[in-house]
Amino acid sequence: MRTGRGRIRTAVGGLVAAVVAAGVAEPLAVLAGPRPGPLAAVGSVVVDGAPEGLKRLAIRSFGENDKQVLLACVVVVVLLLAGMLGLVARHRPARAMAGVCALGLVGAAAVLTRPGAALLDAVPVLVGALAGAVVLRTLSATRSVALPLNPSPVDALSAAPPDGVTAVGVSPAASRDGETAEDIAQESGHDREWVVGRRLFLAGTAGAFTVAAGGLSLGGVLRGRRSVEAARRAVRLPRPARPAAPLPAGVDLRLPGLSPFVTPNRDFYRVDTALVLPQVDPAAWTLRVHGLVERPLELSFDELLRRPLVEHDITLTCVSNEVGGPYVGHARWLGLPLAGLLREAGVRAGADQLLSRSADGWTCGTPLVSVLDGRQALLAVGMNGEPLPVAHGFPARLVVPGLYGYSSATKWVVDLEVTRFTDTEAYWVARGYAEDAPVKTLTRIDVPRPLRRLPSGRTVVAGVSWAQRRGIAAVEVRVDGGPWRQARLAPVPGTDTWRQWVLEWDATPGTHRIEARATDATGATQPPTRVPPFPDGATGWHSVVVTVI
């Protein structure tokens, strides 16, 4: 019994040491600069090194919560390792302390892999690891020691505990909830009680947790103060030099359950590799344009806002989107035409890639022809009439219509390099995704939802379809493999947006499968066979099964 309790106690000591290390490192990391804390840095390394199949599984299984799940997994692994080190500390404290320091070195190395990191950025992690090692050594020293229950004065003086061990004498008259020490000894199965420095251990644990909680809270407060949300709210976007035309009447069918034509910013999908949202101060933001250009440029945020900006309606789609998936949304974007900026810099012959980098180091390779072929590729600063939300790239991002986001939609963009695909591979291309990724024609059934129970009679079937740069020319729906029927299409402002559609169906009792397919303006109908998103986007017909009663 005592051995089991001792193991639990030493394992708890390891957990406490890990929490203290994080509580010390987090506020120091915030004070040191805008870099992510050690856990976020380790998580980012895991994201970068994880197999692509695992990443796709995480996105498919957890959606936009994949980052929180990943961070939770990192925390669990660290705590398990800390608990194991606590067990090691029971008999080999020096090795356990070395293990804690080794974990600190791993965290420091992870921090140093982040873009723009300097050696000083590793100091908070190392200090936190040192604090954790000290706590582990202190708590592991509060072990049991044998003392007689009825010590004589001579025994009491001679029974000195080992170094670092706290002994507490208990007399027969002492009681615990009405029990004498003799009762406690009998309950434990021993004639003489080994009195544990339990009180000191509990007090040390409580104190360590208090320090850790205070440190983590302080880190949260400091990160909150470094948030750029206040600066974002202070931005006043200029009127566009070329505003977008008003949306056509009827562009939104306004049916319950149907995705609205304009996706509210709060509902716009988010898929990226940033575990912690980059907090980019617009006052310090600059965009560098360089590489295979005649005249390298550097642009501040104020200079960007003073340039003639344009508005454009563009639907964005993530390559991770499965058939019928949620990673698609529409917004009205305000920004600087990207083609004009590149022509100002003077693109050299032979360049075929625009490599963009975000503030957190992520890279995106956009085919240069897709920026210069006349489409409304933007260096965007506004989204649906307001400055970009931080989660969607504030203060500036790229929006290139017709391409999946991994090759067109860099958030928190700070660097544009004109280069060649043969010279540099962007983040996802290096992981097997296609260099050129035009959005494929897809349609999604929003109404009715899968597995719904519907009343018989006239029923609405509705959804959205997209084929950016080509446009949607037709949508067809069929039930139970029957004949295809043409759905009614809502008007759209252009080919770069998705399109709503609706069809009325006389539902009869039973279980039914509803399928939909779209045809783009070139006359190509989306293929029926389902193909997964990797490496250049999903294809296939979307279907839902419903029960009519």
pTM: 0.75
Q: What is the pLDDT of residue 160?
A: 44
| 3-state per-residue secondary structure call for 391-416 | HHCCCCEEECCCECHHHCCCCCEEEE
Q: What is the pLDDT of residue 147?
A: 42
Question: Identity (one letter) of the amino acid at 374?
Answer: G
Q: Can you tell me which residue has the tokens 């957190």?
A: 360
Are 297 and 416 in contact, with CB atoms under 8 Å apart?
A: no
Question: Identity (one letter) of the amino acid at 170?
Answer: V
Which residues are paired to 474 by β-bridges?
Answer: 519
What distances in angstroms separate CA 155 from CA 145, 151, 338, 372, one per listed residue? 14, 5, 86, 91
Residues 470-507 have pLDDT tens digits of 999 999 999 999 999 999 999 999 999 999 999 999 99
Is the peptide bond prior to 148 cis by the omega test (within 30 degrees of 0)? no
How confident is the prediction along the chain (549 residues), in pLDDT tens digits per residue? 455 566 777 777 777 777 787 778 777 777 766 666 666 777 777 777 767 676 667 766 776 677 677 777 777 887 788 788 888 877 788 888 888 888 888 888 877 777 667 777 788 888 888 888 887 777 776 554 444 444 444 444 444 444 444 444 444 434 444 444 444 444 544 433 344 455 555 665 666 667 666 666 666 655 655 689 999 999 999 999 999 999 999 999 999 999 999 999 999 999 998 888 899 999 999 999 999 999 999 999 999 999 999 999 999 999 999 999 999 999 999 999 999 999 999 999 999 999 999 998 899 999 999 999 999 999 999 999 999 999 999 999 999 999 999 999 999 999 999 999 999 999 999 989 999 989 999 999 999 999 999 999 999 999 999 999 999 999 999 999 999 999 999 999 999 999 999 999 999 999 999 999 999 999 999 999 999 999 999 999 999 999 999
Q: What is the pLDDT of residue 23?
A: 78
User: What's the first-to-final CA gap in the chain, in angstroms?
Assistant: 62
256: exposed, middle or buried (Cβ count in 10 Å: 0-12, 13-18, 19+): exposed
Q: Degrees (nearest 5) of the Cα angle 86, 87, 93? A: 65
| Angle, helix 93-112 to helix 123-140, in steps of 10 degrees | 160
Q: Where are the beta strands (DSSP E) in 248-340?
A: 286-291, 297-300, 310-317, 328-337
Which DSSP letter does residue 56 get? H
